Amino acid sequence: MAEEWQGPLEKVDPWRWRLPKSYDGRMRVDGLIYADEKMLKRVRMDKTPQQVANVATLPGIVGHSLAMPDIHWGYGFPIGGVAATREDDGVVSPGGVGYDINCGVRLMSTSLTVDDVRGKVRGLLQGLYDAIPCGIGTKSKLRLSEAELKKALRDGARWAVGQGFGDAGDLERTEAGGSLPGADPDALSARALERGRPQLGTLGAGNHFIEIGRVVEVFDEAAARVFGLDVDGVTLMIHSGSRGLGYQVCDDWVKVMRRAMDRYKITVPDQQLACAPIKSDEGRGYLGAMNAAANYAWANRQVMMHWAEEVFAKSLGASPRHLGMNLIYDVAHNIAKFETHEVDGRREKLLVHRKGATRAFGPGQAELADVYRNLGQPVIIPGDMGTESYVLLGTERAMAETWGSTCHGAGRVMSRKEATRKAKGRSISRELEDRGIEIVCRSPKTLAEEMSEAYKDVSDVVNVVTNAGISKAVARLEPLGVIKG
């Protein structure tokens, strides 16, 4: 049995654990891990506190090296890691964003109830599966020239809306308006562009999914009304990212960063934390490429949402407007963004890395759509294909403590290989259907890798962030049907 990580974790309260910078003389700030007692043993077994400590050594880091309760081992940063670096003397690290740049989730409300779709979920899923390509190696129905692809990379969801996929109201309910400024398609390699051209409008595989769900519990009636969520109401959730294009961007720029570190006299305890000064040629180059990949992901989810609306309308014989299909919000999980936050009593421009973490801005933030400004930002926390998901709100405490960040999902506890081994001899699809969850999947292998036991209990994760005050619960959803690649 693997040995536990033996470093110091000081209990701040039942939901927070400090990793003091005295643990390693290279650490510039303390680590702060959000977890309860039950989670902490697994966190130690996973040895992710070491990655929290490693992130704390990055030049220009401020506040804490943060880890959300869905923390698990990742590339460089832990998945569930958050770190902010100063614009003037800080660095950017591709490992703080990850390979699936702007993997994220968007949630739609509808005016439908469970009774309206009873006996129709299988047909809806099949229609979605036919309309939205999913799985490894699938190609989109869109045929983009390189010039058109570069427009999508520059403008993100705005490009998609301009092509007739949705409307301008969707942009107000998308993080960053669905388009980061400074995107530079010319910072992408020919291979990245080649991988991206046929994949815009595709779901992908792994943990990506489309889910038809229902609201089973409301915790905040006022917020739920604004979101259009009622008990037994039907929802639609899409979880996907930047596909092979984003992967290639990360792969290309990690190599550039590794070569650059000697030039800037930067040393890191783990080469997977390869980085460069934000204001260097390499830093600006990576950010231009990453912003373009993030925009691609927002365009991708916007296109898929439009196609999903068409499927609902055709299958149920009504227009999306009559079906009351409205975007609640779209949030990114893997991204680095310039934001202004308070540091030691002063407002400073920071580059906030969120790796497997969700932005959770509190009330009053200028970036939020008018309809949400007094409430705070909607936060969508998907479980896995067999368990509940949550809708939360960002809080003022998150702004003060986590750079307006919270968890992003359940968090893995098994590798894909281990999950596949433990699923041997079982029919995961039949197990789901026995629980009333319809499933359409291109590959049984994906179902094994993504089975519920491979993840933490998402309710435990949400319990930590709500008790810690960095999120506020609005509603709980359960799946009626799921599409996996």
- pLDDT for 386 equals 82
- Distinct helix (H) and strand (E) counts, the chain: 16, 19
CB 339 within 8 A of CB 403: yes
- pLDDT for 330 equals 98
* pLDDT per position as a tens digit, 138-167: 899 999 999 999 999 999 999 999 999 999
Q: Which parts of the chain register pLDDT below 50?
A: 1
Cα angle 21-27-28, degrees, rounded to a multiple of 5: 95
Give dist(CA 284, CA 298) in Å, integer: 21
In sequence order, which residues have a C-beta less than 8 Å from that of residue 234 and are 6 or more positions away?
110, 112, 113, 114, 116, 117, 212, 213, 214, 480
Q: 152 is written with which tokens?
A: 């999508």
- pLDDT for 64 equals 98
Unique residue bearing structure tokens 């009636």: 221
- pLDDT for 320 equals 80
Give dist(CA 293, CA 332) in Å, integer: 12
- pLDDT for 2 equals 65
* Class of 11-484 in CATH: alpha beta
Give dist(CA 163, CA 166) in Å, integer: 9
Give dist(CA 228, CA 213) in Å, integer: 14
Q: Is 239 in the active site?
A: no
Return phi, psi of residue 228, to 5°. 80, 30
Query: What's the pTM value of the predicted model, to 2 decimals?
Result: 0.96
Q: DSSP secondary-structure letter at 455?
A: B
* pLDDT per position as a tens digit, 344-399: 999 999 999 999 999 999 999 999 999 999 999 999 999 878 899 999 999 999 99
**Percentage of the chain with pLDDT > 70?**
100
Give dist(CA 161, CA 166) in Å, integer: 5
Q: DSSP secondary-structure letter at 440?
A: E
- pLDDT for 78 equals 97
Active-site annotation holder among 72, 333, 353, 408 = 408
Q: 225 is written with which tokens?
A: 């009304």
CB 474 within 8 A of CB 215: no
* pLDDT per position as a tens digit, 280-295: 999 999 999 999 999 9
